Chain A
Amino acid sequence: MTMQADDPRLIEFDVRTDEMLVNMGPQHPSTHGVLRLVLRTDGEIVSETTPHIGYLHRCAEKIGENLTARQFIPYTDRMDYLAGMNMNLGWSLAVEKLLQMEIPEKGRHLRVMIVELNRIASHLLGMGAYGLDLGTFSPFLYAFREREKILDLFEAVCGARLTYSYLTIGGATHDLPPGWLQQCEAFLDQFEPNIEEYHTLLTTNQIFVKRTAGIGLLPAEMAISYGCTGPVLRGSGVDCDLRRDGEPIYTRMYEGYDFEIICERDGHYPDDYDYPPVPKEAQLGDCWHRFYVRMLEVVQSVSLIRQAMDKYSQTAGDYGIPVRFNHKLPAGEAYLETESSRGWMGFHIVSDGTAVPLRARARSGCFSNLSVIGEIGHGCLIADIPAIVGSLDLLMGEIDR
């Protein structure tokens, strides 16, 4: 977005101040971790945004070259630590692709249930933190109220609340505890009507709309060229979701499931649910749309979990036995991308025939999503920068790996 001379936000267009370099971060609360942005500003207007990353770089890829495939699972948790299950799944599927291994049907339904639950938790935090970025505290508390319940469910499953290492190569470390499905059902029943509340708190909130609608416009071509994925890409109106368009080994997981890919088609969103209308100020590809896509995805995830619970309880058999820690990998390579909550998480595993991979490359969705900020943060106000950063829903653990 470039400032026009007749923009009402500008009082005097001709009055220019000295250019100033402003450091945002790495400890700025609105930068979601340790992201440092260097802004070149002319008064209130940002003429250049340069992100500096690497403060959380742990060289996870190098660690992956020194551990066996299954030992690497806990390190994937620490990439996107708000969607650990999605990371576990990405690595597990990539290794399973290399091993040409298929997990039992029951295990697939279990995985759908777990990753979609994690997607809700991750989107809830994204929503709450976005509210914080824009100066409202309450949505954060509401989001955490529900997120805590999801974490409780995960704790019951695997004992961990953040770094799960639950889904693993060959299935999951163990089956669901008795009574878990009922607890999950009770949570969904309680959670679903509350989504309305979030929409009232943020989506249709006039202040929120003013802060986000028309800000940080990301046209579809630019999003594709920069490799933006996930809700950021779909917020620009590109109909792409790996759960439908991915590779067979991944899409087979979602076979037989009924879900919709959230994105604006022909000027409107899917209308099978009572969504709040799109405000007239909002333009496709702005911060508001990216936020909205996430909110609607939560509803889809709830429906997916319900279907998965049905299928899981109706399927007989095993949830999948994990491979041994020193399981040998065949020589060769495999690359697989999965739809994580923040974008496509791709793992490229190269093996020379031993148990330890020769290369464990992690392609992170946020890494590419962040790279676009120099482009969309051009010409906006300083106060819009947190709005743009928040709408990309960045997580530095995944960017720096």
Chain B
Amino acid sequence: MAETESSEQPELSWLEGTVLPALEKSFPEEIVGCTTEVLDPWIEVRPESIASVCRFLRDDPEFHMDMLTNISAVDYFEPDPKKAKRFKYDPHLELVYHLWSTHSKRRLILKLMLPRWKNDQAGQLPEVPSVNSIWRTADWHEREIYDLMGIFFLGHPHLRRILCPEDWVGHPLRKDYEMPLEYHGIRNR
């Protein structure tokens, strides 16, 4: 099993040489940084400006990121106090936007960090602007994240649960989620 050779170097130089300077020029305050020493290099964006950065990346003829293929939400949290000692991350949520261009066939990853709860009050969902008006893919993806991970997308026209039933309580993909013992008379355990 040989190590894969670094065939993604042109992608990396494009990210560092073209995308990052252009973004930093247009959004000097909003770009937090760029992480390149990883498998999938990403650009970190401030949560409140994700929509304007995305709109720029879609509309700028140089980038033309016309497709949002995926949004992933990741909960960095370890509920088990024994395991939490080995857990290297501060508790937070991450949203990862995977963009793709049908013209240049290039991919780009944007990331943003969110607190697990708004104002550190358990139960209050963190908020982030919706990118639904930029790519329609985001409509269902954001609904799914709201449903399963509990992130509120500001400006989404009909943010409601998509996979779980409407009256479901809680957000199942949160690490501290506890399965209800009963749902409408159906016993779970």
Contact = CB atoms under 8 A, between A and B. Distances in A.
Interface in A386-401: 400
Interface string A333-376: 11101000000101010101100001101010001100110000
Given A54-B165, A61-B173, A245-B105, A227 B137 contact: yes
Contacts of B69: 227, 229, 337, 344, 346, 363
Interface stretch (A98-106, A138-146, A155-163, A287-295): A98-106
A29 interface: no
B88 A352 contact: yes
B135 interface: yes
A344 B4 CA distance: 23
A38 interface: no
B1 A62 contact: no
Interface residues of A, number: 47
Contact of A348 (B7, B66, B70, B173): B70
A247 B69 CA distance: 14
A120 B98 CA distance: 29
B66 A346 contact: no
Given A57-B163, A102-B2, A348-B72, A332 B38 contact: yes
Interface residues of B, number: 42
A225 B74 contact: no
Nearest to A372: B136
A333 B39 contact: yes
Interface in B112-138: 135-137
> Interface of chain A, helix or strand or loop or mixed?
mixed
> Interface of chain B, helix or strand or loop or mixed?
loop
Interface of B: 1-4, 7-8, 38-40, 66-70, 72, 74-76, 87-89, 96, 98, 102, 105, 107, 109, 135-137, 139-140, 144, 148, 161-165, 172-173, 175
- Give 9 closest A-B pairs by Cβ, nearest first: A227-B137, A363-B70, A54-B163, A361-B72, A57-B163, A248-B7, A348-B72, A245-B105, A371-B140
Interface of A: 53-54, 57, 59, 61-62, 65, 97-98, 100-103, 170, 222, 224-227, 229, 238, 240, 245, 247-249, 331-335, 337, 344, 346, 348, 350, 352-353, 358-359, 361, 363, 367-368, 371-372, 400
Given A97-B39, A227-B69, A371-B137, 16 more contacts: A54-B161, A61-B173, A62-B173, A101-B1, A102-B1, A102-B3, A225-B135, A227-B67, A248-B7, A332-B38, A333-B40, A334-B39, A348-B70, A352-B87, A358-B74, A371-B140
